Chains A and B, each alone.
Chain A
């Protein structure tokens, strides 16, 4: 696939429109999705957006692969819930809406200490150190039940303290709008960061850390400061989560959670600013909806991730942008047949594979329920050879057809890219 990076360069009007659209979306979402499940999900999406964007500050902008980002979002959550309890006791006259900030500042302090050690190295050693530090904090969370609450975690009550304009944050919708405000502000701030000297130098450090040293910058310091800023936003996200769930358990600093941040930020797309936003939405959808839909969701996730790394390392965002570029040059129409073909054959493969996976899961986990398994609109028999053969046949046929479509698609895509390159060269000479 094309290695060239497409920098989206809208006019200022375009940028204004995009941000207004974003704000509008945040405002209007709960009016479109009104059920309480929807509103919980929307709240969680806002929280996830902030933490995934903060993670991408490290991964996409700084080239720092961290396996321990949950430490900072988690510590922010713990500090926020303790602050909340202080507010409830009357010991701290802080409005509830500012509690997430306490989380953010707390995470920052943790990052100042742990980040100094962590950013001493870069690349693969850095990744391993983040893993080690993450395990350290996770293990410590079991050692200090006073702070981390042991098995039961720490609970709090967000309906407390002062009530400006009668807002108690009791109803989910009120909390959602608080989260929405934080999401918008944090996103804007993190976007602004990419346009500051430090933000740009962070990109330079990602691309060529050696050269950065020769133009006067201490790469370690650049990484360290960026690490602290990312931790700040992660802490805010953790603080919002503490308000949302009103309970914080040591799971929030687990390696499992750090892995989820990595997986979904990458899936959304680490090379574009808005990629993690997509990733965050997918994360909430997967954890809340997909996990209900099928027991095999983690396996599907792993497989999707695997194929993404192999075929679309820029994530969903890069796929969108590549097609936008093709559309901008007017060639998208030529591809729609290919896309249709790919979609249909891909779906067939998915169907076949899904049936087999679900059957296996059913056999393993739901033995007591007998061999019959409901699947979509019909039911299958786990002990019937028909189901198995049928699924295998469907999958293999689909795979064959998919391969045919894929080759055609790659050929067409290649031609279009050539046309576009020629067009760009032509425009440059004007």
Chain B
């Protein structure tokens, strides 16, 4: 049963594969020659996710003021920017929570702007929420299984018993192991700790096998040690997928991302490798200016 997991691997060129094993996996060290690597990818390949002059206004206030973004398959992009810049709004626009006022959003070259969230999800894009948005009265196992059902093709079936769906149940068990909640199989989601709920949130997001994952502040509210463990988890479960994360923690950003998109006041100021972004004048002025952020970002200036 196709789960869309491997599409990104095949779409990417050999340079993409090299990047996946780069020393970036270690703490906060960017791969050398990032931009050269980027250009080696074949020209004319469809972007996994593309935004063309996307705008969004609520009443008279324009929140998103012409965003252009092109993300290649398998890329890991961190979206950073001050609060209120429109990062979550961007996610909402991409995932279909609401439609852009103008502009296009393309997934694998097909337009998805204006489509309903479930239509977009069925095409292989999945998102998590900043405020945990799971099913509080269902157990961990049930939460994950619900997220798995559609992609396994069970749709609106009421003629089969859940207990008999071997492939769905197996995949759910796999997912539980992946997010390390197998010990909490039958605990109601509302009774989990905060970090466990965040892990479940990620689990539900990736369960359907989407190949483009949007994570909205996955480590929000976590302690330092929890964050470190969580980032490792994210890296593992999103292997080979295209990842967009909204993040505030610069350590996380520089450790996890291939590319950074800086969103300020509804526009993308820069979209480049971490080094290039750090050196970017405009970004420094608008966002990264403080020495604290600089030191958080690593130790190689």
Contacts and interface: CB of A to CB of B under 8 A. Distances in A.
Interface stretch (B61-69, B147-155, B239-247): B147-155
B156 A198 contact: yes
Interface in A182-225: 192-193, 195-201, 203-204, 207-208, 210-218, 221-222, 225
B290 interface: no
Contact of A201 (B96, B146, B160): B146
A214 B126 contact: yes
Contact of B158 (A212, A214, A229): A229
A211 B156 contact: no
B138 A215 contact: no
Interface residues of B, number: 40
Interface of B: 95-96, 116-118, 121-122, 126-127, 129, 133-138, 142, 145-147, 149-151, 154-163, 165, 187-188, 191, 204, 207-208
Given A192-B161, A204-B138, A214 B156 contact: no
A216 B150 contact: yes
DSSP class of A's interface residues: helix, strand, loop or mixed? helix
Contact of B204 (A192, A215, A218): A215
Contacts of A225: 156, 158
A28 interface: no
B204 A211 contact: yes
Contacts of B204: 211, 215
Contacts of A221: 156
A167 to B, nearest CB: 31
A428 B187 CA distance: 10
A210 B118 CA distance: 10
A210 B133 contact: yes
Contacts of A229: 158
Contacts of A428: 187
B191 A215 contact: no
A195 B146 contact: no
Contacts of A212: 118, 146
By size class, the interface of chain A is 20 to 34
Given A213-B116, A214-B121, A198 B207 contact: no
Contact of A214 (B118, B154, B155): B118
A91 B208 CA distance: 53
Contacts of A211: 129, 133-135, 204
B121 A193 contact: no
A209 B15 CA distance: 41
A192 B158 CA distance: 9
A336 interface: no
A197 B165 contact: yes
Given A195-B161, A197-B165, A198-B156, A215 B116 contact: no
Contacts of A201: 146, 149, 156
Contacts of B122: 216
A200 B145 contact: yes
A365 interface: no
Given A198-B157, A217-B150, A225-B156, 11 more contacts: A196-B160, A198-B156, A200-B146, A201-B146, A201-B149, A204-B138, A207-B136, A208-B134, A211-B133, A213-B96, A218-B116
A147 interface: no
A4 interface: yes
A33 interface: no
A259 to B, nearest CB: 27
Contacts of B155: 197
A307 interface: no
A207 B158 contact: no
